Amino acid sequence: MGARLIRVTSRALGERRHVIVRVYDTRAEMCAAGTRFNGGDLANSDGITQAYLDDDKRVTVPVVRLTRSRLSTQVISHEMHHAATSLYGSTLNADTLSSAVLTHHNEPFAHLFSDLLTHVIDSLYRFGYYD
């Protein structure tokens, strides 16, 4: 059947950023797609997050791969954290110290993560993955 494509977005960083989420019917399909993307051995993955730069080489675009059998809160929040970190990190200057941004006071990152997580869960409900 192929993978369902879901696009989730957030404006928490000031401009619209998006994450591509693909839900595969089987774990084998998900892992094969991830391997085609970067050549890595992903056979034991519960979820996969990869990223690329858009055509302008300016914006990071995370790609989250999930499978129907592993749509738990743990797997989805884990992968959305990777996606949010990828997006947030791509907005920082190379000389920014991680200790300046990796704190519980970082509201832009917290909003980015919660936006992405909420949007993917809402989409999964809308497409009938949950009862």
What are the pLDDT digits (tens) for 47-79? 999 999 988 877 899 999 999 999 999 999 999
Can you give the residue ranges of every domain in the chain? Answer: 4-126
Point out the residues of the chain with pLDDT beneath 70.
1
Q: Which own/partner contact pairs does 29-34 have at CB distance under 8 Å and 24+ positions apart?
A: 29/3, 29/67, 30/3, 30/65, 30/66, 30/67, 33/3, 33/65, 34/65
- Model pTM? 0.91
* Rounded Cα–Cα distance for residues 115 and 28 (Å): 29
What pLDDT is stored for residue 56 in this prediction? 80
What pLDDT is stored for residue 3 in this prediction? 92
